[in-house]
Each structure stands twice: as structure tokens, then as C-alpha cells.
Amino acid sequence: MTEKATNLINIYSLGNVEKYSLIVTAILVVVNYLLGSQPMALGVAAGGVLFTANYVAIKFVVNALVSNSSSIGFGIFAFIIKMAILIGIVACIFIFTEVNIYGFFIGITGVVIVIIGENLRRSTNGSL
């Protein structure tokens, strides 16, 4: 029982994907802000941070399922709740704030490129 608990505690450490995603998001925010587009910079920040948090949440749910510390039903429930929260946050961002939709998608794209690049780097090092 304690082994399963320690496995879940270790999930909270930030991996390379999360670190690089936040770094790329910060660079994109600074570049957009310096170019004079504050709504675009806000959109990039919102998209990048939100989808980095989404990646961490997916990683948490998958690790909980793989370590057999929870049932399949809990995993499905947690994934549905996570998606509902994500959709709600995105809807609130676009309804109640002045976020540029193009900047939001640029932030998402930066995170996706980091995820793909990190997985390609791992595959070239001999691991699958």
C-alpha cells in the first residue's frame, strides 16, 4: 500500500516536457508582448499554461491507472471530469476575457510541438 502511495507522490515532479513547455510559452509571450500585441501575448500565455496543466492532469490519470492504485471506472470518471473542467475553463476564458484566439492557438501549438519533440528525442536515444 505504501509503495502505491509513494508512486503517486512522485508524479508531481515536473518532467522535461512540462519545463520546456513553460519555457517555450514564456519565450512566445515575451516576443508577442515586445512586438506590441498584448492581447496576443495574453492568449499565448493562457493557451500554453492551460495545456501544460492539461498534460500534467493526463499524466496523473494515466499513472494512477498504470500503477493499479485505482480502478478503470475511476480513470474514466477522472478523465471525463478533467475534460469537462478544461472545456469550462476555455469557455470562461473566451467569454469573460479579451483573449486573442490566434494567440491561444499559438500557445497550444507551442506545447504540442514540445511534446512531439521530446518524444522524438526519446525515441532516438533507443527507448520507445
Please indicate whether residue 111 or residue 68 has the higher confidence score (pLDDT).
111
For residue 41, pLDDT over 70 is answered with yes
Report if residue 6 sits inside a domain. no
Report if residue 50 sits inside a domain. yes
Report if residue 1 sits inside a domain. no
Report if residue 33 sits inside a domain. yes
**Three cell numbers at 67?**
500503477
Domain of residue 102 covers 16-116
The number of domains in the chain is 1
12-30, pLDDT tens digit by residue?
567 888 888 999 999 999 9
Report if residue 121 sits inside a domain. no
Q: Residue 12 has what DSSP assignment?
A: G
Taking the C-alpha atoms of residue 32 and residue 27, their distance in angstroms, rounded to an integer, is: 9
Please indicate whether residue 20 or residue 69 has the higher confidence score (pLDDT).
20
Report if residue 123 sits inside a domain. no
Report if residue 125 sits inside a domain. no
Quick check: 111 and 22 in contact, CB under 8 A? Answer: no
Report if residue 40 sits inside a domain. yes
